[in-house]
Structure 1
Amino acid sequence: MIKTVIFDMDGTILNTLDDITKSINVSLEYHQLPIKTKNEVRKAVGRGALNLIIDVVPENSDQKLIDSVFKKYQSYYDTHSNDLTAPYPHMLDVLKQLKEMGYKLAVVSNKYEYLVKKLNDDVFESIFAVAIGETKDLPIKPAPDMLFKAIKLLDSTIEESIFIGDSDTYMKTAVNANITSIGVTWGFRDKETLIKEGAKYIISDPFDMIKIISEG
Structure 2
Amino acid sequence: MKQYKAIIFDMDGTVLDTLDELTTSLAHVYGAHHLPVRTRQEVRAALGYGYTGLIKRTAPDLDPAEQQKLAEEFKTWYSSHCQGHTHPYDGIVSLLSALQAGGRKTAIVSNKGQAAVSELHEEFFSHLVSFSMGESPRYRKKPEPDMVWEALKRLGCAREDAVYIGDSEVDSMTARNAGLDVILVTWGFRDKEDLERLHPDYLVQSPDELARLLLGQ
Task: Give the TM-score category using the shorter length.
Answer: over 0.9
Residues 100-143 of structure 1 show CA distances to partners (whole Å, capped at 9, x for unaligned) of: 11111100000112221221111223421121111112011111
Report the equivalent of 1:145: 146
Q: TM-score, normalised by structure 2?
A: 0.94
Question: 2:124 is matched by which residue type in structure 1?
Answer: V
Displacement of 1:28 after TM fit? 0.4
Q: SS of 1:35's equivalent? A: coil
Report the equivalent of 2:164: 163
Displacement of 1:197 after TM fit? 2.4
Residues 32-54 of structure 1 show CA distances to partners (whole Å, capped at 9, x for unaligned) of: 01100000000000011011011
Query: Aligned runs of 1:1-216 on 2, under 5 Å?
Result: 1-57=3-59, 59-215=60-216
CA distance in 2: counterparts of 1:44 and 1:126, whole angstroms = 31
Contact 1:120–1:127 (Cα < 8 Å) also in 2: no
CA distance in 2: counterparts of 1:54 and 1:32, whole angstroms = 16
Contact 2:95–2:208 (Cα < 8 Å) also in 1: yes
Contact 1:112–1:135 (Cα < 8 Å) also in 2: yes
Q: SS of 1:163's equivalent? A: strand
Q: SS of 1:140's equivalent? A: coil
Displacement of 1:99 after TM fit? 0.4
Structure 1, unmatched stretches of 5+, are: none
Displacement of 1:68 after TM fit? 3.1
CA distance in 1: counterparts of 2:207 and 2:139, whole angstroms = 29
Contact 2:7–2:105 (Cα < 8 Å) also in 1: yes
Contact 1:172–1:197 (Cα < 8 Å) also in 2: no
Contact 1:120–1:126 (Cα < 8 Å) also in 2: no
- Superposition misfits of 4+ residues, deviation over 3 angstroms: none
Question: 2:161 is matched by which residue type in structure 1?
Answer: E
Percent identity of equivalent pairs: 35
Q: SS of 1:80's equivalent? A: coil
Q: TM-score, normalised by structure 1?
A: 0.94
Displacement of 1:168 after TM fit? 0.6
Distance 1:67 1:177, change over 3 A: closer
Structure 2, unmatched stretches of 5+, are: none
Contact 1:19–1:81 (Cα < 8 Å) also in 2: yes
